Each structure stands twice: as C-alpha cells, then as structure tokens.
Amino acid sequence: MKKIIAMLLIAMLISACTAQENTPEKADVKTELTMGYTTEPEGLDPHRTAAASTFTVTNNIYDTLVGVTPQWEIVPRLAKEWVISADGMEITFSLRDDVYFHNGRQMTTKDVEYSFNRLKDAESPRARDYENIVKIEVLNDYEIKFITAELDVELLKSFVYPWAAVVPEEEVANLKTEPVGTGAFTLEEWVPQQHLILKRNENYYGDEIKLETVKMVLIPDATGMMAGFQVGDLDIIPLTGDQVTMVEGNENYKIISEPMNAVQIMSLNTKNEYLSNEKVRQAMAMAINKDEVIEASMFGYGAKIGSHLPPTSPDYYDTNNIIEYNPEKAKELLKEAGYENGFEVDMSLPKNYQLHVDAGQVIADQLGRIGIKVNIQLVEWGTWLSEVYGAKNFDTTVVGHTGRLDSYAFLSRYKSDSNDYISLTTGEVDALLEEALKELDENKRKEIYKDIQVILANKLPAIYLQTPHTMLALQKNVEGMKIFPIDFYDYKDVYFTE
C-alpha cells in the first residue's frame, strides 16, 4: 500500500512539472515609455518661464493646488477641497496632509504661500496674472486663504495652470536644472539638446503610477521623429497634419486628436511705421487666405478664427465674416493708406515650430501679391522668447497662444497697459475686460466677450489665423494618454498593455 501511494505521489509531481513546463511564460509588460518632442524646455523652473515647452515636462514634476480634466472640469490635486466666499473675493484651500517634496520634506501651506509670492514677484513672467491676489493668509499647516482686491469670477482657474506650481523654498536656486516638486515623477537625467528622463516618484501621494520611467527624446525634425516611431523606438509622438496618412489605418498604431485650446496668430508690432496704420493691418488681413494657410500648415486639420478665442471656448463668437479674404480690396486699402507701392517688413518665425514656419511662408507669399515684401527670419525658440516676446524687437511673427481656461486670461494681453508683446494700445477693450472680470451673470459675461472679439477682429493688433488640432500617434499597446485643454503632457495615468 505504501509503495502504491509513493508511486502516485511521484506521478503527480511529474505531471505538475510537465504542466509548468508547457505553460507559456507571461510576457513582461513594458514600464519604460519613450516619447519624441520637438522643442527644448527653457529650464525647469515653473515660475521663471512662459514657454509651453517647459510645462510639457514640469507638469509631471511639480503639482498645482487644483487640476483640470480633458472635459475642462476642475478637480483636486494638492488641495483636497476649497471654499469660495459669497462675494467671490476669497478662496480657502484645504490641503492634503500626505504630500512630500522629492527631497523628502513634507509640504505645508507655508510652501504654498512662498510659491505664490514668488509667482507674483518681479522676476515672474506671470506676475500680472496674479496681481489681483493682494493677501495670502496661512490659517494652519493645511489651510490657506487667498484674498483678492477685486472680484474675479474665474479665480479658481488661475490655480490650475502649470506655472502655479508649489515649490520648496530651499531648492529654488537650482530649480532651472535640478527641479524639486511633489509630482508623480522626478528628473533623473537631462542632457540638453538630446533627451531628458523622468523617473517614477515612489513616494507620490496619488494613485499607483505604472510607468517606471519616461524618456523624452528631442527630435526637431518631423521626418526623423516619424521614422523613430515606425521602427518602434518611440512610443508616442506629436503628429502633424501631413503625417496622419502615414499612421491611420495601420493596426499597429492609433491616433488621438482634439482641437487645441489655442489660437495661431500673426502678431503685429503696431509701433512699426506701417503696421501702426489700421487700414494697413486690415489690408494685410484681407490678403491672407486662411484656408490655404491651414492646408499648408496642418493639412486641413484646423479651424479658421477671426479673433483671439478658439472655437472650443464657451465664450467663442464667430468673427470670420468681419474681414474676409479679398486681395483686390486689400490693394485699395493700401492705396488709401498711402502705400500703393507697398513696403517691406520682417517676419520672425520660431524655427523649432514647423506649424508656424509653414504658415508664415504661405502668408509671406500671399502678402507679396499685394506689394508687401516679407523678409522671413528663422530664429531659435530661445531667441524668439528673448527678442520677440521679451524685448518686443520684431515687425511680425507667427506663433501660437495656448492653454488658458478662462477668456479673460486669453484676452487680457490686449489691455493698453499690459506690456505684452502685442496689445491694443488705443484702449478700446480696457473697460470691457474689467467689466467681464466682475460680471457674475454668465450670459452677460458672454456678451461682453463677444464685444471684445468684434473689436479685435476690426482693429487687428494681430491677424487671427486658426485653431489647429492636437494630434498624437501612439503605439497600439499604449493606454491612458490624454489631451488636455492646457498645453501639457501628463504621464501618471499612462501604461502599456501586454
């Protein structure tokens, strides 16, 4: 009997071993994402730059008090809840008590207070956006109150933007190259003009992060980017309109696409002798065939605009019919303005952004047909930021303005005293912008923004071109990547399937 039992046990062991040998091993799921990007960040200090290329990275390293979903819903982030006073002049945030900076120190309201005071100081390019906040009260370690001088009905949205990140005071001297935040990822390596690597923050307060690393590879050339994607070296790439046919319909790839919360414009320096003339600006607008611009720059993946709000905005008003394409009438207007024989202007184009280069080249050709010679100057993005955006040393430029959730933030640059690189110095929208900030009735506020858009469409401190689409190409096993109404990437919910 004992011998029979022993033989049965041996048989069972052999059977079990055979079953294990015949069971295929489960493939390891990837945890290292590689994404291509086209423009080098202008440092990684969120309070010291206006460059969108920085925020695509820093949104993953730092956190803001509140966040936004792809559907424009405001959601908790560092703050678990908030209360706005009845008069709309105060907002009190209650913070999470389980948040730690990457250096190991716990975050408190003192860090929030310091960060917003830094965001408001003279070195911050966003200081004007927060000047209405006149007092910050630390109530305790996890409650903080912001008090405004005047009513701002969109106040909560100003805490969403990636430049409103919370930073630790003791690290600010080196944040440009050695960022320390509370975000889902830390910076492991940055080789300028080559790549940067983000590493999962094992002490992150939020949900489990499935990716171990995110490597962002700098590839300014769209052709090289697509080649890397097609051979599998890149998991995600930004997609241009001309590349859509290269990936759509291929079962190994997928595309996600949404209209940008953005506008592409041709900015005009109205201090220029020619461009200070309203008839000249109107003539230039009439000479531009926006359909051709959209086809050339986005292969049709864009929507015409007549003013400085995208069609995705709830306050958008269609002003495309105010000044329509009419090159013959454009020539008449130039003659009325005293420039029958035309003139020359320079156009500074950021060479890292093919979308703007392509649009600018088409526009230069179109303006040439009415006698305006455009001298194109391709400049590096850093030069564009310092010379065009900062020093206002330009005649014309083509660029995008992205990522604002409220219409006031989009339009406030047109205040006559904004000191922005473009503005409506004659002041027609100043009072309307102030009125919009204080109007609690949503429908009345829409009417105010409609009036502002009509004024801009007529006065043309810039020529409004299009709202392009954001498009990303993904390998078929990538999930969780989303497009947001603010111009950034968020990797914390991204993962690979088997």
Two tokens at 58?
Answer: 């820093």
Least Cα distance to 171 among 133, 221, 118 occurs for: 118
Task: Identify the pLDDT of residue 19.
Answer: 45
pLDDT at 26 > cutoff 70: no
Evaluated on CA atoms 164, 166, 167, 168, the torsion sign reads: positive
Task: Identify the pLDDT of residue 242.
Answer: 81
Task: Identify the pLDDT of residue 440.
Answer: 81
In angstroms, rounded to a whole number, what is the distance separating the alpha carbons of residues 68 and 486?
8
pLDDT at 24 > cutoff 50: no
Q: Are 275 and 269 in contact (CB under 8 A)?
A: yes
**Domains, the chain, ordered by start:** 42-173 (3.90.76.10), 185-258+470-496 (3.40.190.10), 262-469 (3.10.105.10)
What are the tens digits of pLDDT across the range 55-110?
Answer: 999 999 999 999 999 888 899 999 999 999 988 899 999 999 999 999 999 999 99
The dihedrals phi and psi of 448, each to the nearest 5 degrees, come to -60, -45
pLDDT at 18 > cutoff 50: no
Mean confidence (pLDDT) of the chain: 92
pLDDT at 144 > cutoff 90: yes
E-state strands within 336-408: 343-350, 372-379, 396-402
Residue 490: C-alpha distances to residues 34, 52, 70, 219, 483 (Å) = 14, 14, 11, 20, 9
Residues 6 or more apart whose CB falls under 8 angstroms from that of 45 comprise 167, 172, 175, 176, 179
Q: Are 30 and 215 in contact (CB under 8 A)?
A: no
What are the tens digits of pLDDT across the range 179-233?
Answer: 999 999 999 999 999 999 999 999 999 999 999 999 999 999 889 999 999 999 9
What are the tens digits of pLDDT across the range 449-489?
Answer: 999 999 999 999 999 999 999 899 999 999 999 999 888 99
The pLDDT > 70 percentage for the chain reads 94
Task: Identify the pLDDT of residue 72.
Answer: 84
Look up the pTM and report it.
0.74
Report which secondary-structure segment, H or E, holds 434. Answer: helix 430-438
Q: Are 91 and 85 in contact (CB under 8 A)?
A: yes
Average pLDDT over residues 377-384: 95
What are the tens digits of pLDDT across the range 284-341?
Answer: 999 999 999 999 998 888 999 999 999 888 899 999 999 999 999 999 999 999 999 9
Average pLDDT over residues 162-169: 97
Residues 6 or more apart whose CB falls under 8 angstroms from that of 312 comprise 259, 260, 261, 467, 485
